[in-house]
Structure 1
């Protein structure tokens, strides 16, 4: 058992070393699961009972190491609530993913008892993608560790075919190569036919080389259509803990307008400011009466074609409970919703508002609110959301007066490929990511968040213009190259002529079709396994 634990830990370490933001070790993803597969094979082939439990415990331990070391920075984002309180809350993202991963491995073991090794391994790939798709879409969503994200460093050149598959294509790629290498090892250990081993080696080689060759060809052959637009992104570098309350909002907007002025041209069409740049609560029903709206419009007087896309802490009031997330006023006079919003302001009375849709579980919305409503006081004490932020059900596109479509993406939303693609389908010609990564401190979290944005550029073939309050702000071209970026904790701005694009990629058109199909197969596999378990149990009783 100790040997199998060491193998699982080795897998966890290999996967962590391969994970962003480390730039030169991504290739370890192609062997990272092999020790784990060997450990499971050892347990399956040993005598004794409770093999399923052993597999679950061993794989959970290995995956916990991988997740903990890769997203350790989650604790930094929570420790302002107190170190004692931050530890148990941090365990949710640290342990939940590994639990789902280990569950996929448990179902693989049960499937292995019912069919051949090859079919079971194919089922494992479907089960794994099913876990990833679930973790992307349920109330406790945290798709940060989706395997396909692992190519977001300099190896984005290896996965230019994400414009066809999205990140789930990367998940399949990683698993197939790991499985072929594992089967080669098993063949050597079991003294299988040499011809079969050679076929497996050839399959592993082709599975690696063919997608890589196509990707590199696509990367170097890809040419952007010339359709320029001048964009400025500002990084005000305001301490996130000082944004609300101790640092006047008018002063914050003054910093942003000064930074924007320092690089703007007469033909600048978009100024991108970060998440919650307008940090004081603004009534969205009366936004045109806000002094902050007037301050932004005064700035735009110098740029007649200019548009400001900025983050906004907004709220709406209602006479009745108009939404599920609405809170009642204490005096009973009505209801209100808080929003983490993006707003587009131009040289007219036109205002476009987008409410963040992919809300952070716990911090912005209470997962399974009806079931876990008793935890509302806990989250309130921890500085989170008690009733939950309001949001909208679908993505939006901001259109300038000249007809340019921009996709407003707020922070956490940038790790959802299909969601970002939905705005592109609606007409967005570039992606504007506004974020505030300062909560995580100078950790790998901010670098991973930037790296993942490169994958959105490849999937959609759109430029990404990224404004971060405390870094890292950047411009990313349609091939996923970071053309310009700021440093961490620096007050600055960037200017870039980007190329707008209106073409629709295969992935934008069809989204996460790989994940949907694999998830369907995973459900069928789990149903098949559970039915067989029940039948076996019934037969034993009889």
Structure 2
């Protein structure tokens, strides 16, 4: 194959490998996913780098956003062309993102002719990736389907995820990109012996992760565990609660509540919007639920919306004591743009045809005060970014709880990815996390990143386990911006040095 053909094929292969690594969360392919892409851009002019980025982004999007074609038809009732249009817009954005990223990298990288320049280039590539990912994270707060990080693949391994407690996902992306770059250079230059360099970096990184994990396990004193029962109703989100099946669905919820109460938990947690209407103190279903669970003296964390006005609600989680007293309410703070909340005054009914919008109520942003300590809440896509979890811990949360509804995506890679994002939040904040996702993965994740229990089923179920409480604050919780600042300083220094050399 000629060079022109390779310049197209290699980014396409890299797009597939990157999706497997980042979307599917695969530890092994993560170390080589970007090798074909870097093979196209090492020592290449800026124009070729931009083109490689466009092709890579387009190929990646074909795998990452293919669910939108049929999904949009299901969610809104429109035909598949609507979903295809949304997918093309997302693919265009992602392609331009990667094109700009590689263009910026081409302006900074040295000619890879000596080991010194090769090592420096790997650090430059890693730092540029981290900074651009940081910029993308501001967009992905409202559009979580853009929240792809190069380091996501390392969430799959209990040792490689540990440095996130120090520097967040940024350090994971940094090491992945640096290793991929080194592999690519030494393969292109056929320096077979030097392939041991990136291999050694991987070994040292995993060893460092082991030491971080060991230090945390010996340093942190976990005490006062609380038993939490997760009620997963597994009701498809497009099922109508009407006269035909409403009573049947209510009976399902009541039976699940009885099964959870029989486990004698301290807390019973439901999924996001598990009761599909707004909260009222005199609600018959809520009162019947409380009446049953009062026998176990269990605190209820109930996913149910709060009415604001006509067709406007808050996506809420209520903390209700056995006697019916509401001790706290958390409202989702990071809303889905275009879906739950308008974006630049535009609202597209993509994931819901019900027609309501969600209000951003910043007054209910604090952890829920349970009888066992504060529960830091993350609703749906809020587990995809570090800010809600860090905010909760800094406000006294002794454990985290992520409730969501993955029913719209239950046959896609998103549901597993969602669960592993919660795992990343557990390590970053060093808090146990209870995850309860309707039609998705539910379970319990230890603060050290070990998955205690994980379950996905098509039938309703109750999952019970103990969650350890702690007040430990990780380095990342204290200084979440530090690693990004270090990358910015490093890249700025490289830029100034490059300008200085050109001027002389």
TM-score by length of 2: 0.85
- CA deviations 1:252-278 (Å, max 9, x no partner) are 454334213214357521101000112
Report the number of matched residues: 486
Equivalence map 1:204-223=2 (5 Å): 204-219=198-213, 222=217
Deviation at 1:145, TM superposition (A): 1.2
Q: 1:85 aligns to what?
A: 82
Distance 1:102 1:521, change over 3 A: farther
Task: Please tell me whether the aligned partners of residues 465 and 475 of structure 1 are also in contact (alpha carbons under 8 angstroms).
Answer: yes
Equivalence map 1:527-542=2 (5 Å): none
Question: Is 2:12 aligned against 1:12?
Answer: no
Q: 2:455 aligns to what?
A: 486
In 1, Cα distance between the equivalents of 2:407 and 2:103?
Answer: 38
Equivalence map 1:39-438=2 (5 Å): 39-41=40-42, 43-44=44-45, 52-80=46-74, 81=76, 82=78, 83-112=80-109, 121-138=122-139, 141-142=143-144, 143-153=146-156, 155-185=157-187, 187-188=189-190, 201=195, 203-219=197-213, 222=217, 225-242=222-239, 252=249, 254-265=251-262, 267-282=264-279, 287-304=280-297, 306-317=298-309, 337-346=312-321, 347-367=323-343, 369=344, 373=345, 375-376=346-347, 379=349, 383=353, 389-392=359-362, 395-400=365-370, 402-438=371-407
Q: 1:192 aligns to what?
A: none
In 2, Cα distance between the equivalents of 1:512 and 1:186?
Answer: 35
- CA deviations 1:410-432 (Å, max 9, x no partner) are 11111112321220121111111
In 2, Cα distance between the equivalents of 1:528 and 1:316?
Answer: 55
Distance 1:34 1:509, change over 3 A: same
In 2, Cα distance between the equivalents of 1:179 and 1:480?
Answer: 28
Q: CA RMSD in A?
A: 3.4
Deviation at 1:451, TM superposition (A): 2.0
Task: Please tell me whether the aligned partners of residues 261 and 295 of structure 2 are also in contact (alpha carbons under 8 angstroms).
Answer: no
In 1, Cα distance between the equivalents of 2:350 and 2:66?
Answer: 24
SS at match of 2:81: helix
Deviation at 1:87, TM superposition (A): 1.3
Give the unaligned 5+ runs of structure 2.
none
Q: 1:49 aligns to what?
A: none
Task: Please tell me whether the aligned partners of residues 397 and 428 of structure 1 are also in contact (alpha carbons under 8 angstroms).
Answer: yes
In 1, Cα distance between the equivalents of 2:69 and 2:303?
Answer: 25
In 2, Cα distance between the equivalents of 1:345 and 1:55?
Answer: 56
In 1, Cα distance between the equivalents of 2:364 and 2:185?
Answer: 44
Distance 1:386 1:340, change over 3 A: closer
Task: Please tell me whether the aligned partners of residues 418 and 512 of structure 1 are also in contact (alpha carbons under 8 angstroms).
Answer: no
Deviation at 1:437, TM superposition (A): 0.6
Deviation at 1:395, TM superposition (A): 4.1
- CA deviations 1:347-380 (Å, max 9, x no partner) are 243341111111112211222x2xxx3x44x548
Task: Please tell me whether the aligned partners of residues 56 and 98 of structure 2 are also in contact (alpha carbons under 8 angstroms).
Answer: no
Task: Please tell me whether the aligned partners of residues 161 and 215 of structure 1 are also in contact (alpha carbons under 8 angstroms).
Answer: yes
SS at match of 2:160: helix
TM-score by length of 1: 0.79
Distance 1:125 1:235, change over 3 A: same
Indicate the larger mover: 500-509 or 336-345. Answer: 336-345
Deviation at 1:339, TM superposition (A): 1.5
Q: 1:325 aligns to what?
A: none
Distance 1:276 1:7, change over 3 A: same
In 1, Cα distance between the equivalents of 2:351 and 2:390?
Answer: 37
